[in-house]
Structure 1
């Protein structure tokens, strides 16, 4: 080997970033150690020379690793492992090292060379990452992590429990698997705009589980950025609030629903009517109102009793619901009086509906009461008219129908409710 080659090898040994140490093959005593090894252990070359590396072991050194090391050395085989070593000052560090046998020209074993790295920071980082992963998985609320393209790369156990999607099903998919179809494009536009601007997005989502059932989630989605500020991932943390929403809805229903018929009660109906009037004004759409009253209902209660009267109210409520469109609101206004709010409905179409309802009720026969009839007043919103004026005109038309012989409907005249 030329002098220049030997000089190059010596320079590489001394300048290597990795710690390198050479021992003899018999006593395993240190013969050479480079500056990186000395810096890692805290020992000088003079302190190391002639001693074995057993001096670096301590109470936390893994005995199984050392036993495997001795076996490899005894058999002159390659060794690789990780264990805890101790510096001169007593502090510990995690070292990953390998040892290779060195043989002379005659093939006889003469030395061992070991290349080592202090991996304490790496191992601690790995442990921290595993701890964070375990912590996220142990969290009671659903957690989902996606890449920058929106592909799911992690979900915790709570996510699987709430949504029904296991990690193997969710990873690689997109959050779109949870879409219920109940949010409009404006909702998602706000979401995408917020994330594109690097801001969190918080909202209550109505999501769909794997089995098709819906649940409400209070959810926050946040962009995760790298050191340069570039978005690399998105993290979603949510809370299943379905039970709370159900309780709130139950309270709302109790306050705005009639317990006997299941219809909106007057309190809820007044709110619906006010909103419908405002919407009609804003969009220039027609709004019609039917006020309905069961004829001679007092006689039903007096003759057959209130349980029968309650059944009649439920039956009429059911007929009214079935007669109108899904977007129309049927309200129990009080006693035997009902109000039907007909959004985007002209007077002519409302009159057709009134006749259809009258005929349906007239054709109905109760097992005890027999024939029932309904009288109705119809009013269509006029320009500048208030809700109270609209209801007043419909109510006046109802009494016109009553005076006209009942079992009929009447159209309100302008100013008739004043």
Structure 2
């Protein structure tokens, strides 16, 4: 072959490859070793949005988000055939970012080596893969945290969640080697097999069943199963959710078998029991006996007619009948007053709750007559109150109470008046004691009252008499004591209280009022003056001693 023929062949080859380059639908770019773009095909122009003239003034790093130095390194690797495949993010002329995979290989043209790149846009592929991964993670999170079993299967298990493994006692790999119907007892195997095969041929087949299954341990359990057909990997498969209802089935069977026994017990038990909506649906003989009605009268009355309408809880009881009508669930317990046929009132513990009776929501009530206990407690309470009135010792502080104070003051006033002796009366109370009770609670309030009582008792003379007058008010009767001495005593007591640490987050103070007995004083007159003095102490700033 002569030189002319060789040149012609080369020209023909060039024309062929040039035509292939220009017209190929794949994105193609030709660059030199520095990254300078030599040529691009029409697919590249369409994809990136630059004209060919613009491309030929650019380098590959002008539209690649990889840093320039790093891209030059990659270009060198491709030029030296060290690496041929890359994934980049390219920026189009309009600013849009696209993920691309790039296949690069060096080629020789007219004695020069260039890098030939074929580029595929994989943005949608990446997004799709991301969405698939997110969907898989969501599916895994949902199924692995469900409390019910979830299984995907044909004739054998494809997937089962952890809850399903726990219910059946098998691991996933063990279940994958078994036919699904072999999990059931013999009486259900054939039905299960037929249901699965029907579901695998009919995408619209959904059904609920209750089957008895055999756990790996050999224990038999009842499963409530909902199965439906779905498309998975282009074929029909079955998906089913299931729960262990063994306890429920056993309970139902127990109830059925014991129904007659239950009826016998209810009808013969001494405690009144009834089932009702607005009127009685059932009542045992004990209920009839308690209220004094015969059966026909009993069943013709509205249930609330058995309760005393003057009872504070009457309206609450009536509300439960509204809940029955609205098919709401409820459970309540009251101490109530009930009304018998003869009009007499009894006290009762009344427990009621909603139940399903003959397929409808109804009330179930139990009444326990506690009339004797209530009357006995009331009698004891009345006796306690009577005892408190007669007692002269304050229950909390263990010092004399107001009754004792009135008695002792009258006695000492008479003596002072008769013999012309001095007598002073000191009254004090705790400043802002209501704030202490509200802020720290009544237990702390009681502690403060007892602590102040101890503090004052230790500081008084043997001849002084100390009383709790009421609430946070106290009285001190000081015989043979003129006003000047009483002032000194009160000031000393005020300072002791102010300086005492009560172990709470606030300081405590007391205000004092003092008066000295005068000829002809009565309890009422001297108390009036000392109360006025205390009022003055509190009204002029508190934590001080005032006198009249």
Partner of residue 249, structure 1:
250
Instruction: Supply the distance in 1 between the matched residues of 2:182 and 2:175 (Cα, whole angstroms).
Output: 8
Query: What is the Cα deviation at residue 66 of structure 1?
Result: 5.3
- CA displacement, residues 105-154 of structure 1 (integer Å, 9 cap, x when unaligned): 76x7x21111111112222222222222222222225444446xx45444
- Say whether the 8 Å CA contact 2:31–2:116 is kept in structure 1: yes
- CA displacement, residues 354-377 of structure 1 (integer Å, 9 cap, x when unaligned): xxxxxxxxxxxxxxxxxxxxxxxx
Cα distance in 1 for residues equivalent to 2:160 and 2:168: 11
1:98 matched residue in structure 2: 103
Larger radius of gyration: 2
**What does 1:4-403 align with in structure 2 at a 5 Å threshold?**
4-25=12-33, 27-58=34-65, 69-70=74-75, 72-73=77-78, 75-103=80-108, 110-138=113-141, 139=143, 140=146, 141-146=148-153, 150=155, 152-171=157-176, 174-176=179-181, 178-204=183-209, 205-215=211-221, 216-224=223-231, 232-240=235-243, 242=244, 244-257=245-258, 265=261
CA drift of 1:17 comes to: 2.7
What is the total number of aligned residue pairs between the two structures? 250
Q: Secondary structure at the match of 2:100?
A: strand
Cα distance change on mapping 1:178 and 1:248 into 2, 3 Å: closer
**1 CA distance for matches of 2:121 and 2:172?**
35
CA distance 1:173–1:255, shift in 2 (3 Å): closer
Contact 1:77 1:101 in 2 (8 A): no
Distance 2:37 2:87 in 1: 20
**Structure 2 unmatched runs, 5+:** 1-8, 265-548
TM-score of the aligned structures, taking structure 2 as reference length: 0.39
SS in 2 for 1:38: helix
Higher RCO structure, 1 or 2 (CA under 8 Å, sep 6+): 1
Residues 62 and 83, structure 1, Cα contact 8 Å, conserved in 2: no
Tell me the distance in 2 between the aligned counterparts of 1:120 and 1:113. 22
- TM-score normalised per structure 1: 0.50
Quote the Cα distance in structure 2 between the aligned partners of 1:70 and 1:162: 59
Contact 1:145 1:155 in 2 (8 A): yes
Unmatched 5+ stretches in structure 1: 259-263, 269-418
Per-residue deviation, residues 310-367 of structure 1 (Å, max 9, x unmatched): xxxxxxxxxxxxxxxxxxxxxxxxxxxxxxxxxxxxxxxxxxxxxxxxxxxxxxxxxx
- The Cα of 1:195 is off from its aligned counterpart by 4.0
Does the Cα contact within 8 Å between 1:30 and 1:48 map onto a contact in 2? yes
Residues in 2 aligned to 1:101 and 1:113: alpha-carbon distance in whole angstroms: 6
Instruction: Give the conservation status (yes or no) of the 8 Å contact 2:91–2:97.
Output: yes
Output the CA distance in 2 between the equivalents of 1:154 and 1:187: 18
Quote the RMSD (CA, aligned, Å): 3.7
* Cα distance between partner residues in 2 of 1:143 and 1:62: 49
Q: State the 1:254 CA deviation.
A: 3.3
